[in-house]
Amino acid sequence: MKVQSFTPPQRILMGAGPSDIHPRVLAALSRPTIGHLDPEFIRLMDEVKEMLQASFFTENALTLPISAPGSAGMEAAFANLLEPGDKVVVCVNGVFGQRMAANAVRMGCEVALVEEEWGKAVDPQKVADTLARHQDAKVLAFVHAETSTGAASDAQTLCRLAGEHGCLSLVDAVTSWCGMPVLADDWQADVVYSGTQKCLSCVSGLSPITFSERARQAILERRHPIQSWFLDMQLVMGYWQEGEQRVYHHTAPINALFALHEALVMLLEEGLEQSWARHWAMHERLRDGLESLGLELMVEPAARLPMLNVVKIPEGVDDARVRSLMLEDFGLEISAGLGPMKGKIWRIGLMGNGCRPDHVDRCLEALSASLSKARR
């Protein structure tokens, strides 16, 4: 056994997350720990909640960061809204849609799938048809920004369809949040969850989530207790509810919340609209550069995500070798394809603090050099 400190190498993170954390956020992380029921910590929790509401464009009282990664946000959304025997319509156009369906199956729900070709947006017409065939569905679940394929779906339209069919809408905004509009109240979305390590560029391991009043009511009216004790919002609410006496549920990840607070301050200093515009401008810079290298984007222009750019790997090029050359020679990480897309695509992230012109240019340089080296 080697007992010595670990010093990570310097990297530029341009994969599907985590993204590069700003020094201000890292500095906040290293501030002295205080107790999680300290009045000053409670003040921080209130401020985090308010800033999260601003970031989701919502007035929802039940808005908080779950003390676990985006996958726990997904699980919390399903576990709290659904009960065994409930019917849920799940849209699947990539890996994260598949995970949603797996969550629903494990919760003992009846699942109706709306499947779409990977790399395409979810088709609202198919969703409308499926909802019409399943009048008893309680929830419509979909991924706003499918990180496995780089495709955006029309969240506003899908939430509207859910509302028209008397369903609650459950939205995965892990990759989209902070990098493109996520407008919980405008969309009348019922549950929206995200993760902190993507376009917010905070530490991984936190999942901001917001529940509408309708969703909160549905949780209060459940017939069965929520099968997950840790993710039971009825219990977590007691810990995060504003103004009330906070009741111990679990120990919050105190320093991670210092980091979240700072990352949210930075986000609001820049402004959400400015952040969206920056993500879009960097996407265009990257797209132009990729096209001039003769590379092709997989997703059609109308459905492209700015923060997650999917490139087709040219014929005869060794996927793993190019990525390892980029990492070794340039210290720059991009992501491989997931599941059936492995070996077919690269995923280049432009997320949060890492979404900058120097990174785009460095990535193009690294990709170009590594491609020619790998072809030799």
Ligand X SMILES: *Cc1c(COP(=O)(O)O)cnc(C)c1O
Interface residues with ligand X (CB under 6 A) are: 17, 69-71, 74, 96, 143, 147, 172, 174-175, 195, 204
- E strands in the chain: 12-13, 62-66, 87-92, 110-115, 139-143, 145-146, 151-152, 168-172, 191-193, 207-211, 308-312, 332-333, 335-336, 345-349
Q: Which is nearer to ligand X, 195 or 306 (CB)?
A: 195
For the bound state, the minimum distance from the C-beta of residue 368 to ligand X, rounded and expressed in Å, comes to: 27
Q: Which is nearer to ligand X, 178 or 364 (CB)?
A: 178
Q: Which is nearer to ligand X, 74 or 267 (CB)?
A: 74
For the bound state, the minimum distance from the C-beta of residue 176 to ligand X, rounded and expressed in Å, comes to: 8
For the bound state, the minimum distance from the C-beta of residue 70 to ligand X, rounded and expressed in Å, comes to: 2
For the bound state, the minimum distance from the C-beta of residue 129 to ligand X, rounded and expressed in Å, comes to: 24
Q: Which is nearer to ligand X, 311 or 371 (CB)?
A: 311
Measured CA to CA in angstroms, residue 97 lies from 72, 113, 116, 137, 176 at distances of 15, 10, 10, 17, 15
With 0-12 / 13-18 / 19 or more C-beta atoms within 10 angstroms meaning exposed / middle / buried, residue 253 is: middle
Q: Which is nearer to ligand X, 175 or 309 (CB)?
A: 175
For the bound state, the minimum distance from the C-beta of residue 370 to ligand X, rounded and expressed in Å, comes to: 25
For the bound state, the minimum distance from the C-beta of residue 292 to ligand X, rounded and expressed in Å, comes to: 28
For the bound state, the minimum distance from the C-beta of residue 72 to ligand X, rounded and expressed in Å, comes to: 7
Q: Which is nearer to ligand X, 16 or 266 (CB)?
A: 16
With 0-12 / 13-18 / 19 or more C-beta atoms within 10 angstroms meaning exposed / middle / buried, residue 312 is: middle
Position of minimal CB gap to ligand X: 70
Nearest Cα to 141, choosing from 73, 215, 103, 89? 89
Q: Which is nearer to ligand X, 267 or 364 (CB)?
A: 267
With 0-12 / 13-18 / 19 or more C-beta atoms within 10 angstroms meaning exposed / middle / buried, residue 294 is: exposed
Question: Position of tokens 């040219």?
Answer: 314
337 within 8 A of 347, measured Cβ to Cβ: yes
Q: Which is nearer to ligand X, 17 or 179 (CB)?
A: 17
Tell me the residue length of the chain. Answer: 376
For the bound state, the minimum distance from the C-beta of residue 369 to ligand X, rounded and expressed in Å, comes to: 28
CB atoms within 10 A of CB 31: 12
